């Protein structure tokens, strides 16, 4: 978690520049000239390579009230102004512009008196991330409002997990970064920090972008645009020694992917701010049912899970172990989307989902570690009133379950 820090506001104009990005003289930062668009030399002639300036212009164009995903404003970490919004600028891609306060936490030592040795997410070897080696950004640890869907941007509702890739733009530069730490949860009263904050990143991210990187006197008040790519294919693996290189290697791919997606003009339409987020059900009451509240049988047990919504998850589901959710209510009969929050570490697994006696087998992909909760949408047929949903697997292990949202 990020503790309270004394941050000195830096009186620097941080307007984003669309001029030629500044190329760094080493492999730490990936920058691309902002002049014209050219075919990639390593790709077929038909492939298009997008410059940072072109992509940033598209992001700014698509950041409108129609694509805003939060209904309540976020807090700028440096200035404390409640004026930061998040936009879905393309399918599964979310962007915001805010400050950069400096996170010094993790396995690297730092003179910051508020330095902590842990980060919320770890590298692929299970080690806390090093703020001086890994460019990472910070998001809220939970939904401050304790409601679903969350009126603020909440990563768990958007198909995001630890080490999720993001582009970071500042003053003509662009770098790759990963989701590495979280802002204090609202159930922790020992810190002044707030999970509604947006605008903090690691020492390494600041250094790559040319931002003062001291944990006590560094940072900028505004002008840093963070563009987050959701989905398991954008989770960056590696150790503290390799994560930076691995993130920078994805920069051009991300620019081209997003540039191509926005080339038609506008991104896929987002729901209005009051509607459920894309990774939660499009219909129904969007009620959350914690897995630990389900009826358990056959050896399924409740275990602690720091990153699960209720601090618990179900383990030993499958091989005869079952979990049955009762009292899943809807006002009318019909087809509903059920969002399942789960972990499946080490391999992909499947579960038999039985809704009011009707079975379907659902495959769940492998997830990176026990710090990463992933969601999967499953279409279910529900009746008006109360429904029963059971998870099982008679012959093999099923995923660990966090919760379902219907």
Could you give the number of structural domains in the chain? 2
pLDDT at 183: 84
Whether residue 286 is predicted with pLDDT greater than 80 in this model: the reply is no
Mean pLDDT value of segment 319-331: 93
What is d(CA 56, CA 327) in angstroms, rounded to the nearest whole number?
47
What is d(CA 122, CA 136) in angstroms, rounded to the nearest whole number?
11
Q: Are residues 208 and 141 in the same domain?
A: yes
Q: Are residues 217 and 160 in the same domain?
A: yes
Establish if 283 belongs to a structural domain: no
Establish if 282 belongs to a structural domain: no
Mean pLDDT value of segment 43-54: 67
Half-sphere exposure of 339 (CA within 13 A, CB side): 25
Q: Are residues 294 and 258 in the same domain?
A: no
Q: Are residues 190 and 228 in the same domain?
A: yes
Establish if 332 belongs to a structural domain: yes
Whether residue 278 is predicted with pLDDT greater than 90 in this model: the reply is no
Please work out, in degrees rounded to the nearest 5, the angle formed at the alpha carbon of residue 238 by the alpha carbons of 373 and 279: 25
> E strands of 253-348, at which residues?
288-290, 295-297, 301-304, 312-315, 322-330, 334-343
Please work out, in degrees rounded to the nearest 5, the angle formed at the alpha carbon of residue 290 by the alpha carbons of 182 and 376: 70
Binning pLDDT at 50, 70 and 90, where does residue 144 land? confident
Structure tokens at 100: 């950069």
Q: Are residues 360 and 218 in the same domain?
A: no
Mean pLDDT value of segment 141-150: 85
Structure tokens at 387: 């429904």
CB 377 within 8 A of CB 361: no
**Which of 228, 262, 296 delimits the end of a domain?**
262
CB 316 within 8 A of CB 399: no
Establish if 363 belongs to a structural domain: yes
pLDDT at 285: 56
Half-sphere exposure of 318 (CA within 13 A, CB side): 17
The boundaries of the domain holding residue 400 are 288-405
Whether residue 40 is predicted with pLDDT greater than 50 in this model: the reply is no
What is d(CA 214, CA 207) in angstroms, rounded to the nearest whole number?
10
pLDDT at 185: 56
CB 246 within 8 A of CB 101: no
pLDDT at 142: 83
What is d(CA 2, CA 4) in angstroms, rounded to the nearest whole number?
7
Q: Are residues 204 and 295 in the same domain?
A: no
Whether residue 27 is predicted with pLDDT greater than 80 in this model: the reply is no
CB 56 within 8 A of CB 16: yes
Establish if 34 belongs to a structural domain: no
* Relative orientation angle of helices 52-62 and 251-262, to the nearest 10 degrees: 50
pLDDT at 114: 81
Establish if 44 belongs to a structural domain: no
Which one has a higher pLDDT value, 237 or 263?
A: 237
Half-sphere exposure of 353 (CA within 13 A, CB side): 22
Could you count the other beta carbons within 10 Å of the beta carbon of residue 15? 9
Establish if 214 belongs to a structural domain: yes
Q: Are residues 189 and 102 in the same domain?
A: yes
Q: Are residues 83 and 171 in the same domain?
A: yes
Q: Are residues 356 and 227 in the same domain?
A: no
The 10s digit of each residue's pLDDT in 51-84 is: 999 999 999 999 999 999 999 999 999 999 999 9
What SS3 class is residue 253? helix
Which one has a higher pLDDT value, 165 or 287?
A: 165
CB 197 within 8 A of CB 81: no
What is d(CA 173, CA 17) in angstroms, rounded to the nearest whole number?
9
Establish if 94 belongs to a structural domain: yes
Mean pLDDT of the chain: 82
Q: Are residues 293 and 154 in the same domain?
A: no
Structure tokens at 392: 């099982």
The whole-angstrom distance between residue 108's C-alpha and the CA centroid of its chain comes to 23
Domain with residue 398: its CATH number is 2.60.120.260
Q: Are residues 193 and 303 in the same domain?
A: no
What is d(CA 203, CA 137) in angstroms, rounded to the nearest whole number?
10
- 328 φ/ψ angles, rounded to the nearest 5 degrees: -80, 105
Whether residue 8 is predicted with pLDDT greater than 60 in this model: the reply is no
What is d(CA 35, CA 225) in angstroms, rounded to the nearest whole number?
20
pLDDT at 74: 94
Q: Are residues 247 and 302 in the same domain?
A: no
Whether residue 291 is predicted with pLDDT greater than 60 in this model: the reply is yes
Whether residue 265 is predicted with pLDDT greater than 80 in this model: the reply is no
């Amino acid at each position: 978690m990020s503790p309270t820090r004394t941050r000195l506001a830096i009186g620097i104009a941080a307007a984003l520049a669309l001029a030629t990005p500044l190329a760094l003289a080493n492999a730490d930062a990936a920058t691309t000239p902002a002049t014209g668009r050219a075919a990639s030399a390593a790709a077929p002639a038909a492939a298009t390579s997008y410059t940072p300036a072109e992509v940033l212009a598209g992001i700014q164009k698509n950041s409108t009230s129609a694509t805003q995903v939060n209904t309540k404003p976020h807090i700028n970490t440096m200035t404390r102004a409640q004026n930061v919004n998040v936009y879905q600028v393309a399918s599964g891609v979310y962007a915001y512009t805010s400050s950069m306060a400096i996170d010094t936490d993790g396995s690297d030592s730092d003179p910051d008196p508020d330095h902590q040795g842990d980060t919320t997410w770890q590298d692929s070897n299970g080690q806390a991330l090093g703020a001086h080696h890994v460019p990472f950004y910070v998001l809220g640890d939970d939904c401050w409002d304790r409601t679903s869907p969350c009126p603020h941007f909440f990563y768990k509702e958007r198909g995001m997990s630890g080490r999720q890739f993001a582009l970071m733009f500042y003053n003509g530069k662009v770098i790759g970064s990963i989701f590495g730490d979280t802002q204090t949860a609202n159930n922790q009263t020992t810190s002044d920090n707030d999970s509604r904050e947006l605008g903090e990143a690691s020492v390494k991210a600041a250094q790559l972008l040319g931002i003062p990187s001291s944990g006590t006197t560094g940072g900028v008040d505004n002008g840093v645009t963070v563009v987050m790519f959701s989905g398991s294919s954008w989770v960056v693996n590696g150790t503290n020694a390799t994560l930076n290189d691995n993130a920078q290697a994805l920069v051009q791919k991300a620019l081209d992917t997003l540039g191509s997606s926005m080339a038609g003009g506008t991104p896929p339409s987002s729901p209005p701010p009051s509607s459920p987020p894309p990774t939660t059900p499009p219909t129904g009451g969007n009620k959350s049912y914690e897995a630990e509240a389900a009826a358990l049988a056959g050896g399924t047990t409740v275990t602690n899970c720091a990153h699960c919504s209720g601090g618990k998850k179900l383990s030993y589901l499958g091989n005869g172990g079952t979990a049955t959710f009762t009292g899943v209510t809807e006002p009318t009969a019909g087809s509903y989307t059920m969002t399942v929050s789960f972990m499946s570490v080490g391999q992909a697994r499947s579960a038999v989902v039985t809704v009011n006696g009707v079975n379907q087998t659902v495959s769940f992909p492998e997830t990176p570690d026990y710090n990463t909760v992933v969601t999967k949408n499953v279409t279910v047929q529900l009746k008006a009133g109360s429904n029963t949903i059971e998870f099982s697997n008679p012959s093999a292990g099923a995923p660990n379950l966090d919760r379902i949202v219907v």
